[in-house]
Amino acid sequence: MILNPANINLRESQIMAIVNLTPDSFYAASRNISYEQVRLRVEQTISEGATIIDLGGYSSRPGAENVSLDEEWERLQMGLEAVSRSEMGVVVSIDTFRSEIVCRAYEEYGPFIVNDISAGALDRDMLKVVARLGLPYIAMHMRGNPQNMSSLTEYEDGVVNGVRDYFVERTREMLDAGISPKNIILDPGFGFAKTTEQNMELMAGLGSIRELGYPLLVGVSRKSMIYLPLGITSDEALAGSLALAWEALRGGDVILRVHDVRETRQVVDLFKYYKSAAL
């Protein structure tokens, strides 16, 4: 069952479970390419404590190949069907930069969260569509596209200021398009057009992005910013992912986009207990 996003408070800490519908996502264990795989993954993550399921039909890993709109929709439709037929209710986020995908999904399944890696830059109609439908909108910082972003890591005034300035400009465009301020969520885009060191600088500088006044989504789960400095693989990066989840929570409530829901739920619950005990 797909729940209306109005059922949860996006300004409080939430766990967003990654459900990739692609055969080439960077973390192999997250790939779900059959209806039964998706159904099992969705029900598992809900039972483990996810409040949002993030469905993605277009891999955005560095160097990923382009996928046609129809192929992306076919993958997403399978995922949406699996969630809608589940007896366990959950809010859905659709990871897409295409406004046509948003329109098709809304027409068939009703309201959801739009998770756009390009903050509207890759589809000039996206902001207008999101505003018209009144949907929550996650705007991520990225330069270029998944095919070339790894070469676009030069920031004249540092990565934190670069990301902040980008969001100042993009949120102005979102508001001008008619998107309600209460529907805007910012994702600093860890791993997108950033070096490993820049990703860590950005984590340390999240407070500067918070000052813009919008909820934040942090997606660092099993990414190269964790496993490269440690000389391990993404399969071995759970501990590092949980450490950075705790770090993100230290600055305030945040939506955590993760592969490992049960473990992250423990981190969130323990952090809440720690905060209440420390007061």
Rounded to a whole number of angstroms, the distance between the first and last alpha carbons of the chain is 38
Say if CB 67 and CB 58 are below 8 A apart.
yes
CB burial of 81-91 (b: ≥16 within 10 Å; e: otherwise) equals ebbeebeeebb
Active site residue 223: yes
Active site residue 250: no
Residue listed under structure tokens 């809608």: 84
The one catalytic residue in 39, 164, 194, 257 is 257
In order, the DSSP letters of 140-173 are E--SS-TTTGGG----TT-HHHHHHHHHHHHHHH
* Packing angle of the helix pair 196-204, 238-250 (nearest 10 deg): 30
Sign of CA dihedral 245, 251, 257, 261: positive
The one catalytic residue in 223, 262, 272, 275 is 223
**168 CB-side CA count, 13 A:** 9
Q: Which residues are catalytic?
A: 223, 257
